[in-house]
Amino acid sequence: MIKRIWRGKKIRVATRKSPLALAQTKMIIREFKKILPMLDWEIVFVLSHGDMDMGRPLHGFSQVGVFVKALENALLKGEADCAIHCLKDIPSPIDPRFILPCCFKRETVEDVILYRKGFDFKKIQKVSTGSLRRRAFLGETFPQWTFEELRGNINTRISKLVNKEAESIVLAQAGISRLKCFEIEEVEVNQKKDNLLFKENLDKVIVQTLPTSTLLPAPGQGCLVIQCLKIQQEENVSSLPALLNRLHHEETWEAVGLERKVMEIIEGGCRSPLGCFARKVDQEWIVEAILERDGMITRSKRQLAKEQLSERKDQLIQQVTQDLLGGA
């Protein structure tokens, strides 16, 4: 049925224009082509509010989802059939007009700190990052560090580091890994220069992992999702959600669902520094979280037997959020 509906049509995928967004989109399309080679895909580039206003820190925007809204508008206007996002960019709860039929298997969740080769990590004094989470929790572990604002795509940030406009920078490991694996020959002509520059610059810096014991990730970090209109599922006007669900990874979805529910209750994200990491280890689920509010940092670490998750999920989330809010 799916093949008949979409045969001869192009599935239009909305994505941002950054090199990382393009790499992620092409990687996902490539995975779908492995299982559904008869389908055609078309990339629809969209410029987000966050991309257009690079002079303002992320926590300075009055609205949430500054990297998401423009792609959602493309879906609402019928300019695209689906959109690809980093899950950590999507507010929680999700806009009820949309669904996320496919959550891909999570990649590494850690952040990394980058500094030029020949420089001693112990001598770092200034760290450039636009993330309140990274500033709050790295500042607790490394009180000697001071933080400077930094915006821009991964290429821009690493170029500033190489050109000595920054002493060190912090990025998500997953984004760097995706760009490193992106083959040059798969890139449009106007992207080849940026891709080559990224790989040249990466050879000039040290990439040091910050373990989750040092810095917990943002909720949903390392996870890519596909978004569609909910009406596509409700009215059965398209089988696209069912098609996209074929690469859905349920264990990842369970984990990021726990993290996003904590974020929703805490009202974390860009305005309240929050780190949260849920994962299944052997026979239990573990949820760790950290929150900075009014200058105070609180932590939580809770476990639950995996067979109890369906029945006690809400209780687990309540325990974590109460730990963070001090029983409020």
Q: Which domains does the chain have, with CATH numbers?
A: 2-104+223-248 (3.40.190.10), 111-210 (3.40.190.10), 255-325 (3.30.160.40)
Residue 99 β-bridge partners: 228
CB-based contact 286:315 (threshold 8 Å):
no
Does residue 322 register a pLDDT over 60? yes
Q: Beta 126-128 vs 82-86: how paired, if at all?
A: unpaired
Return d(Cα 323, Cα 25) in angstroms, integer: 38
Other CB atoms within 10 Å distance of the CB of residue 190 = 7
Return d(Cα 63, Cα 58) in angstroms, integer: 10
Which of 52-66, 92-106, 173-187, 304-318 is predicted with the least confidence, judged by mean pLDDT? 52-66
What tens digit of pLDDT does each residue of 191-242 get?
667 777 888 999 999 999 999 999 999 999 999 999 999 987 755 545 789 8
Sheet containing 274-281: order of strands: 274-281, 284-293, 296-305
Question: Full-prediction pTM beyond 0.85?
Answer: yes
